Amino acid sequence: MDKARYPSFPWPVSGRAILKAQPSDFVVTEELGFEPSGRGEHLFFWIEKTRISTHEVAAELAEWLNLPRRAVSYSGRKDKHAVCRQWFSAHRPGIDRPRIPEQPHWRVIEVSRNTRHLKVGTHRGNRFDVRLGVVQVDPDRLRAGFDRLLELGCPNYFGRQRFGFDNLERALRGGEDEMALAAARAALFNRMLSSRVEQNTWLAPVAGDPCLRPGGNGWLMDATEGMIAQGAADPSMPLFGPLPGLAASAAEHWRQEFAAHPDLVRVLEPTSWQPHRRRVRLMPQHAALEIHGEQIRIQATLPTGAFMTTVLDGLIETHDANSD
């Protein structure tokens, strides 16, 4: 079983459940981290979507505004089979705030303006409200696992959405589109992190390699095990690409680790990548668990780039109803 899609966790799951039996079972609310100023040449649309991708909404919004597709942007892609609320921006100077009628799969809740457009990763995080249909679950084990996850965190894997139906497979067959290549890069990270989880070294600091500060991307080169245990630092790993700021020995270590996955390196090498480090630990915030008979409800706020499906996979084996 490929550790890209099915990585290892430090503890066993507590049962099985159904995910996304209907879109309202998976609600995502983007937390932008700032309020649009109300003025400027960029329209801001607060939109709720269901059964449609973020990219498709952007394309339809551009058409309604009679703008080229590139004039509409967003901070992050959200789940298709879910109820998602997120901001879109459109470059259209002026003072108007157009009214767009409700569409089959999306509707505008609010319109504002701002001086700057949205860039990928602008938002602070996402709030999730998830309901699972119980197949077989040990409630006591689930509660204990939930408490442990909130205390220790879970491996910060890229979730199943990054791989889609066949994004990774297309990359391995030579596909060069953005989604395929992003899936291949994520797969390499997941494999390397899964190996560390299996060796129980995923939270150990590595000499010469930076940890990241909680809530930011500042480097800590001298973080200790005590700092990591207290949540004052998170170990990190590089995504495939350049390795600036590292000693020669540390950079060579990562190149050798990349090379241990030649099927993915072959796909990734021809592309020019921006350097990026990803923290290996995901710490859900403002999290809550409710168990009501045949239904489980889990709420949590996650930072930009984190996947709620990863949190769920660390607790319970889920079957996505939309994968059939």
Specify whether the CB–CB gap between 23 and 82 falls below 8 A: yes
Q: Which residue's structure tokens are 């408490």?
A: 147
Is residue 323 pLDDT above 80, yes or no?
no
What whole-number distance in Å separates Cα of residue 243 and Cα of residue 241?
A: 7
What whole-number distance in Å separates Cα of residue 324 and Cα of residue 165?
A: 11
In terms of DSSP bridges, do strands 83-91 and 219-220 run parallel, antiparallel, or are they unpaired?
A: unpaired
**Which range (173-187, 203-217, 221-235) has the least confidence?**
203-217
| CATH architecture of the domain covering 34-122 | 2-Layer Sandwich (3.30)
pLDDT at 1: 62
- Across the chain, mean pLDDT equals 94
What whole-number distance in Å separates Cα of residue 152 and Cα of residue 281?
A: 9
Q: Which CATH class is domain 157-279?
A: alpha beta
Classify 182 as helix, strand or coil. Answer: helix
Cα separations (Å) of 256 from 43, 65, 242, 250, 277? Answer: 47, 49, 13, 10, 17
- pLDDT, tens only, 255-279: 999 999 999 999 999 999 999 999 9
Is residue 217 pLDDT above 80, yes or no?
no
Q: Which residue has the higher pLDDT, 164 or 34?
A: 34
Cα separations (Å) of 262 from 79, 172, 192, 194, 269? Answer: 30, 11, 13, 17, 10
Is residue 150 pLDDT above 70, yes or no?
yes
pLDDT at 251: 93
Specify whether the CB–CB gap between 54 and 77 falls below 8 A: yes
| Interval 169-181 mean pLDDT | 92
Angle at CA 145, nearest 5°, toward 141 and 147?
120
- pLDDT, tens only, 35-52: 999 999 999 999 999 999
What's the N-to-C CA distance of the chain in angstroms? 19
pLDDT bin (cut points 50, 70, 90) of residue 165 is: confident
pLDDT at 111: 97
Active site residues: 79
Contacts of 189 (CB under 8 A, 6+ apart): 157, 158, 237, 239, 240, 278
- pLDDT, tens only, 50-77: 999 999 999 999 999 999 999 999 999 9
pTM recorded for the entire structure: 0.94
Cα separations (Å) of 1 from 7, 34, 51, 183, 197? Answer: 9, 42, 30, 17, 16
Phi-psi region of 66 (alpha: psi -120 to 50; beta: other; left: phi over 0): left
Q: Which residue's structure tokens are 């901070």?
A: 75
Q: Where are the domains of the chain?
A: 11-29+128-156+286-324, 34-122, 157-279
- pLDDT, tens only, 10-36: 999 999 999 999 999 999 999 999 999
Domains 34-122 and 157-279 share a fold: no
